[in-house]
Structures are given as structure tokens and as C-alpha cells.
């Protein structure tokens, strides 16, 4: 549930939304047409918490 997460930016012709957790500890990328989570990253460690599409998530989340 990403209800309280804040929008950071849109990517790739506004198909992907990058959001940040309320505490600022994580970023997630969501494909807007499919409503699928592409990836979730722990910002402090850089570790992938979820990698639905790791290659795309790395590109979008600027790792």
C-alpha cells in the first residue's frame, strides 16, 4: 500500500511513477498503465527490497 508515499517524478513518457516512502527511507517505481510495482529500493543501503523488473528499476531509480 503506497497511499501515504509522495510523488518524486514521472519517467519514460509518464508511464512510470517514482515515489518515496513517508519516512524517506525507500523509493518505489510503479508502471502506471499496468499498475505494477517495478522495483522498491532501500535508499540508505541501495539494496533492492523488491525487483519485479530489476534492469528497468535500476535505470529508473538511478542506481
Q: How many domains does the chain have?
A: 1
The reply to whether 28 falls in a domain is: yes
pLDDT-based confidence at residue 63 (cuts at 50, 70, 90): very low
Average pLDDT over residues 41-61: 76
What pLDDT sits at residue 23?
96
Cα torsion 34, 11, 7, 48 to 10°: value is 80
Which tens digits make up the pLDDT trace of 9-50? 998 888 999 999 999 999 999 999 988 888 899 999 988 887
Query: Residue 26 sits in which domain range?
Result: 6-52
pLDDT of residue 30: 92
pTM: 0.76
Distance CA 39, CA 55 (A): 9
Tell me whether residue 43 is in a domain: yes
Three-class SS of the chain: CCCCCEEEEEECCCCEEEEECCCCCEEEEEECCCCEEEEEEECCCCCEEECCCHHHHHHHCCC
Amino acid at each position: 500500500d503506497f497511499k501515504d508515499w509522495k510523488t518524486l517524478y514521472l519517467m519514460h513518457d509518464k508511464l512510470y511513477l517514482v515515489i518515496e516512502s513517508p519516512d524517506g527511507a525507500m523509493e518505489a517505481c510503479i508502471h502506471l498503465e499496468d499498475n505494477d510495482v517495478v522495483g522498491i529500493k532501500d535508499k540508505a543501503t541501495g539494496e533492492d527490497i523488491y525487483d519485479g523488473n530489476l534492469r528497468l528499476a535500476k535505470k529508473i531509480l538511478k542506481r
